[in-house]
């Protein structure tokens, strides 16, 4: 966010986030990348520092914050630090909004306090093998057995798939219906028949656990139905604008940070007896990228304001997600080129940014899907 969007409380929160990352995350992140997962303890430490479930009401131990700028501060600082293993944004800003909107009082009492402390880590299980962005045609079924659902099926590419112990799962409660047959059911760790597959080996985001999930005759009590039966697809569509803004906010932050340190590198690195940044090609490339980052920042800050007013449309969120993530991939690639051979070395942060950025145009709905949404809104 631009400086004008900060007040004193946000600045204090920003300092707190930076301090947490500097002490608890940055020194260990390379090790976590080798391990393929962050330790569960980092979640409870984040909870102790007020970084989880910040929108949960105070009566359940949360901060009751309704200003999305706080989430953006956390998203942006994690992105700038290159600590991509921390999937706090999925927990705070993608999964928890479902729980806040649709949980009944019993569910709030069971889960909300632990969402704040980090004892409950959420995951969102929508994508299926062979399904991709086609959420209407999911095949995981939930058969009504009276006082419980019997769930069978599988999910893949699930962030927090290993650590997550409360899985908001999209299922078909009526296989004869399309979108109207989809419901959301919360599957909890330890339920018989719920199995986790391998921690998937990814191109980037190596410290972020991503797994396959399998459901074999999992008995889930009716009290774990989220909201109303058959309303799941509508709930997912309602929450997608915020999810896509989360991705866009991270994207523009990476763009700004990569340009910053590439500019510094271009002033320090010399070739033919002068800094490489003084060659016209380098100067023009950096000038172009800086201009595009400024354009993107203005757009994202406008979207943040609209979300706070509950006015962010699905179309504008799709524009933000597609444009900023395309920009991220382009900028990181161009900046790596300016590093020359050193840009290919993993000891340089530009190399880590390169492998972490590629997925941005894929998850949260591919950018091709974003363009479909935009095009249809134009009557095309």
DSSP-derived letter for residue 151 is E
Q: Which of 203, 196, 205, 245 is nearest to 86 (CA)?
A: 205
DSSP secondary structure string for all residues of 260-279? HHHHHHHHH-EETTEEGGGS
Contacts of 125 (CB under 8 A, 6+ apart): 155, 158, 167, 168, 169, 170, 187, 213
Q: Which residues are catalytic?
A: 243
1-12 CB burial, b ≥16 within 10 A, e <16 = beeeeeeeebee
> Residue 335: which of 282, 297, 293, 292 has the closest Cα?
282
| Contact status, residue 63 vs residue 50, Cβ threshold 8 Å | yes
């Amino acid at each position: 966010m631009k400086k004008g969007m900060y007040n004193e409380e946000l600045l204090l929160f920003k300092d707190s986030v930076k301090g947490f990352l500097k002490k608890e995350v940055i020194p260990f992140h390379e090790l976590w990348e080798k391990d393929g997962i962050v330790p569960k303890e980092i979640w409870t430490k984040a909870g102790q520092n007020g970084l989880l479930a910040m929108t949960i009401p105070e009566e359940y131990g949360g901060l009751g914050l309704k200003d999305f700028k706080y989430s953006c501060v956390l998203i942006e600082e994690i992105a700038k630090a290159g600590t991509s293993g921390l999937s706090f944004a999925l927990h705070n800003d993608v999964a928890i909004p479902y729980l806040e909107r649709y949980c009944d009082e019993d569910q709030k009492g069971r889960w909300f306090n632990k969402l704040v402390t980090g004892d409950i880590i959420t995951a969102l299980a929508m994508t299926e093998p062979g399904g991709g962005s086609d959420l209407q045609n999911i095949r995981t079924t939930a058969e009504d057995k009276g006082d419980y659902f019997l769930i069978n099926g599988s999910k893949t590419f699930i962030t927090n798939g290993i650590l997550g112990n409360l899985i908001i799962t999209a299922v078909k409660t009526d296989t004869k219906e399309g979108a109207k047959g989809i419901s959301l059911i919360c599957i909890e760790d330890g339920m018989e028949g719920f199995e986790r597959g391998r921690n998937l080996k990814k191109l980037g985001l190596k410290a972020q656990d991503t797994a396959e999930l399998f459901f074999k005759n999992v008995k889930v009590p009716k009290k774990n139905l989220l909201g109303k039966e058959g309303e799941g697809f509508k709930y997912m569509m309602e929450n997608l604008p915020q999810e896509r803004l989360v991705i866009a906010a991270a994207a523009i932050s990476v763009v700004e940070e990569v340009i910053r340190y590439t500019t510094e590198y271009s002033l320090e690195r010399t070739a033919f007896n002068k800094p490489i940044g003084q060659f016209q090609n380098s100067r023009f490339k950096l000038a172009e990228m800086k201009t595009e980052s400024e354009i993107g920042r203005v757009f994202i800050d406008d979207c943040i304001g609209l979300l706070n007013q509950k006015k962010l449309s699905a179309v504008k969120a799709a524009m933000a997600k597609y444009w900023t993530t395309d920009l991220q991939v382009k900028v990181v690639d161009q900046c790596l080129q300016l590093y020359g051979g050193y840009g290919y070395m993993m000891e340089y942060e530009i190399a880590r940014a390169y492998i972490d950025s590629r997925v941005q145009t894929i998850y949260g709905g591919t950018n091709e899907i974003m363009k479909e949404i935009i095009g249809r809104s134009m009557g095309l």
